[in-house]
Every structure is written in C-alpha cells, then in structure tokens.
Amino acid sequence: MDWNGVFATRMSRMKASEIRELLKLLDQPEIISFAGGIPDPALFPAEAFRAAYDEALTADPGTALQYSVSEGYRPLREWIAGEMARIGVPCAAENILITSGSQQALDYLGKLMLSPGDTALVGWPTYLGALGAFNAYEPVYARLDPAGNRPAEDIRAEAEAHGGAVKFAYLSVDFANPTGQTTDRAARERLIDLAETLDIAIIEDAAYQSLRYDGEAIPPILALEIARRGDIEACRTLYCGSFSKTLAPGLRVGWICGARDVIGRLVLMKQAADLHSSTINQMVVDRVARTVFAPHVERLRATYKARRDHMLAALAREMPEGVSWTRPEGGMFVWVTLPAQMDGADLLAASLKTEKVAFVPGRAFYADGSNGNAIRLSFSSTDEAKIDEGIARLGRAIARG
C-alpha cells in the first residue's frame, strides 16, 4: 500500500527531532555529548520516589491504579497553585491542568488555537520541541521580537497575506532553550502590550524557571499581567510548567496554568487524547514535591551552576578567534555563535568523526531553517572533567574549520 496517499497533509511538516536522534549517541562511551538538554540522572531523588511509590501502592492502590479525572490529581494541582502564588501568580486548582510533560501542553495549545495558515510568533531561534508540536497544525511562523521593534500592524498584515490570523506569541523567558538567554522585565511588559494590540494569546514556556543560578529573578509574564488586570481570569497568558527539569523527566508530569475558560477547553483536548495523565505518577510527584522539592532544587542549582561556570571558563580558554557565546544566568544551555562562514551541521559531522564530541546544530532551532552558524551546548549532564576535555576537542574542530 502507498501510505502517502492516506496520510494527512500535516505529515509533510513532521520531522524527526534532531535532539532525539542525537540522544542515541549517549550510549556510545567514546562520545562526549553536549547535545541533550537533560538532567543528570545521578541527581534524581530516587529514594524519595521509591518511598512515594510504596506509599501510594500501600495506602491507596485503588486510586493509584485507577482511571482519574482529566484535570489531574487535585492535591498536586493544589500544590502547584501554591507554588504559582509564590512566584506572583495567585490562582486555584481549577486554573491548573496536568499534562504529560510540557511537550503535551504545547501540542494541546497548538491544537486549540492554530488553523492551517494561521501565524504563530516565535523566537528566532526558538525551542525545537515547540516547532515540532505546532507544525502538526500547519501554521506560518513569524519572528517574535521582544525588543518591540516590529509594529503590530506589520505583523497583522503579514499574517493576513498568508490567509490566516495571528494566534499567539510563544517564548521561554527564563534561560531559554536554546540560547540560555533571559527576557528582561521591560520586554515582558512590551509583549503584553503587543498581545493586547493584536488580541492574541501568550504561551509562556517556563520549563527552566526554577533553575536560576545568579542574577535577580524576574516575575513571569503571567504574574506581570495579573498585576495589571487583577485576576488570572482576565489574562491572555498561558503558563506551561514542568517537573522534568527539576524532579524527573521520565514521569512525564507538567502543567498549564491559565484562565478557567481556557483550561476547560484544554480539558476537552485531554479527554480526547489520553483521558488523563498517569494517576500514580501524579500522586508520587505530589508526595515528593511536598517533601523534598525545595532542598532538591537547591542541590540542582549548586551542581548546574558549577558546571555552567566550568563550561564558560573552558570556552574562554579553548575557543579560537571569531567564536562568541551567551552567558546564561540559569538553565542548561550555552549558545555558541561560530565564524560566519561555518555551518553547525558540517561542524557536527566533522566533530563526531575526528573529536567524538556531540552538540546540536543551531539551524534546527529556526522556523525557516536559517542561521546555520551556531550550535547549542548543554552542560547539565556532563561532569567538569568531560566539559574540559570536550570543549578542548570542540575548539580543535572549530579551528580546523
């Protein structure tokens, strides 16, 4: 059978994730990988999880192993609501939907808002996984400029020329994937203004919000909007959070926080897709979050800060002339800009062959596949000795051109 004849047109937009493919290299011991933005498994709170699973299966196995409500396990939603209030977002459990990681949240939001030909405003570069999630709904991408240099009228006219409307602006404001950069408060306020002018939603991807190592914390966009409007129910910002970078990605527990009307529509998406996220995993995350979250995150910050500092020092020592890089205040990534004539994909092929170092070529993070002269490095799952050796090897590969 020729399956191409029955596939939907959206399949032409779906591509294998370069990061998922590169993660396969982690099984090769000779490779030093800066590719996957993944937590260090040695830091997982395994004992806390073991105790939590034991308690869930001993105290209430009937609930732990049963179907549950689509909105999510209420005690966990209440804990998340408390954490949201702590960062300036007063809300209730009814403002929270539990998802299977923040990746599912992005998929639901794309499905909820995008019709074929509609425009999504995204960073240039932006998170590759967001492009993968949105691509299924056949949007047009336009560049989101946090500096506010692009008039709303131009954005609207461009969208209309493509036969659709602008639906949302998507960005990660704290230690963004892939650049590691943080959107300052003034730019966050300007984005709220732009969204109001265009009458669009804001999707705030906060996967790394807890992993700040230095600098002053900036309120989330949703917090700034609540300060303006007085109530989350009047806000257009949808905040996507996750336990993947703090507790454990394998449990696949994330959330969306927003106005109840939107959460209600997203619940319908959840019911149609997978009914609900794993009940036992939600119960376990709730117990672990209540018992060890704060001290565990402090441990992560100390470890990852040391690795970030080590990578920045190694880059300063080993990179040849013409190479520059970001200096993130948190998160897991450093964005390296190569000499103008160099392509990150070509460099990766040469690096794997001669130096056994992996990273993600920058082109993958651009909606139009442009800007090839950059690469993303992750420092979170590599120890200091491998950082030293890997950056030295990378420097040699770049110097050879």
Predicted confidence at residue 23, as pLDDT, reads 56
How big is the chain, counted in residues? 401
H/E element, 352: helix 344-354
Q: Decide if 235 contacts 226 (C-beta within 8 A).
A: yes
Global pTM?
0.94
Residue 40's CB is within 10 A of a number of other CB atoms, namely: 15
Instruction: Judge whether residue 12 has pLDDT over 80.
Output: no
Whether the link from the prior residue into 125 is cis, omega within 30° of 0, is: yes
Contact residues for 158 (Cβ-Cβ < 8 A; gap 6+): 119, 142
Q: Which CATH number fits domain 46-292: 3.30.230.10, 3.40.50.10190, 3.40.640.10, 3.20.10.10?
A: 3.40.640.10
- Residue 223 bridge partners (DSSP): none
Mean pLDDT of 212-226: 97
Residue-range domain boundaries for the chain: 10-45+294-400, 46-292
At residue 331, the 3 state secondary structure works out as coil
Distance of alpha carbon 191 from alpha carbon 34, whole angstroms:
32
For 305-314, letters b (16+ CB in 10 Å) and e give: bebbbbbbeb
Predicted confidence at residue 197, as pLDDT, reads 97
pLDDT in tens, 350-400: 999 899 999 999 999 999 988 889 999 999 999 999 999 999 999 999 999
Q: Where do we find the tokens 């596939």? A: 7
Architecture of domain 10-45+294-400: Alpha-Beta Complex (3.90)
Predicted confidence at residue 25, as pLDDT, reads 61
C-alpha separations of 328 from 149, 182, 335, 379 in Å: 24, 8, 9, 11
At residue 221, the 3 state secondary structure works out as helix
Distance of alpha carbon 102 from alpha carbon 253, whole angstroms:
8
Q: Residue 104: phi, psi to the nearest 5? A: -65, -35
Predicted confidence at residue 14, as pLDDT, reads 64
Distance of alpha carbon 194 from alpha carbon 200, whole angstroms:
8
